[in-house]
């Protein structure tokens, strides 16, 4: 984060500002807030893509600047002719995660709206009518359903996005590599998932201010988790024409 400078912190500032605006304009629709903020955890690997690129460039002794960030997000447009292992894989995987996140937002909103004993308009309503409701299991059902949806998504994405950025692999290879890492290291990665969720909730609890620091921290850490979990040396590196830096 120190070496990435303002570019790293910007990756926390922008989502934090967006979250604050969402909190401001949707404060009376807490069912939407709950779904949106929990869905954020699903699509976070996509949002951290350029943080992986920063870490990758620093690791390789390359320049870290705004040009690197821009190229990271637009490179797929210049690799339309690549059938296998091109940057289109990043786009496809990102769309899959976005679809999963949208599905969870809709599912969460529908569950709370239909089963809550009264309309949920605020965090206090959610606390009293869902979390602390004495004869209701809605909160447990909500958590169970969220965990059921989040666990395979985490297993599929924990190293997939940085691997797609780093090596010429397709989406299926990246997802399988991610599952292999989880199956080989279930306890450390369960702890890593809990840390990601806990630190993100801490950022939410500070009215988004903590996300400015925590999101870049988690993004850069995710790159190093990928480097520690997967030996990608046998996989083809990005061709020079496809490098993001």
- pLDDT (0 to 100) of residue 35: 65
Whether residue 1 is contained in a domain is answered as no
Whether residue 122 is contained in a domain is answered as yes
Return the closest-CA partner of residue 211 out of 95, 44, 43.
44
Q: Tens digits of per-residue pLDDT, 76-116?
A: 555 544 445 556 677 778 788 878 877 877 887 788 888 88
Whether residue 56 is contained in a domain is answered as yes
Whether residue 158 is contained in a domain is answered as yes
* Residue 235, SS3 per DSSP: coil
In the chain, the number of structural domains is 1
**167 — phi, psi (to 5°)?**
-130, 160
In DSSP terms, 237 is beta-bridged to 167
> Which residues span the domain enclosing 168?
6-242
Q: Tens digits of per-residue pLDDT, 191-234?
A: 999 999 889 888 888 888 999 999 999 999 999 999 999 988 88
> What is residue 237's DSSP assignment?
B
Whether 245 and 71 have beta carbons less than 8 Å apart is answered as yes
Other C-beta atoms closer than 10 Å to the C-beta of 181 total 22
Residue tagged 């790159």 (tokens): 223
């Amino acid at each position: 984060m120190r070496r990435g400078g303002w570019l790293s912190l910007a990756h926390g500032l922008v989502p934090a500002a967006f979250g604050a605006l969402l909190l401001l304009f949707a404060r009376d629709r807490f069912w939407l807030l709950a779904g949106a903020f929990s869905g954020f955890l699903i699509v976070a690997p996509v949002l951290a893509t350029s943080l992986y690129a920063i870490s990758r460039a620093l690791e390789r002794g390359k320049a870290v600047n705004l040009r690197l960030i821009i190229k990271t997000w637009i490179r797929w447009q210049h690799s339309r002719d690549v059938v296998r292992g091109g940057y289109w894989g990043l786009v496809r995987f990102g769309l899959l995660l976005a679809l999963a996140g949208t599905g969870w937002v809709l599912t969460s909103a529908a569950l709370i709206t239909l089963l809550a004993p009264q309309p949920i308009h605020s965090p206090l309503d959610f606390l009293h009518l869902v979390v602390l409701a004495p004869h209701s299991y809605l909160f447990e059902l909500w958590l169970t359903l969220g965990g059921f949806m989040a666990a395979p998504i985490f297993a599929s994405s924990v190293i997939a996005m940085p691997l797609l950025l780093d090596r010429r692999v397709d989406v299926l290879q990246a997802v399988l590599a991610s599952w292999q890492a989880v199956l080989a290291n279930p306890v450390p990665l369960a702890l890593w998932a809990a840390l990601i969720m806990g630190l993100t909730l801490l950022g939410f609890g500070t009215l988004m201010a903590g996300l400015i620091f925590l999101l870049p921290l988690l993004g850069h850490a995710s790159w190093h988790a990928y480097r520690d979990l997967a030996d990608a040396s046998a996989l083809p590196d990005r061709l020079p024409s496809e490098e993001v830096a």
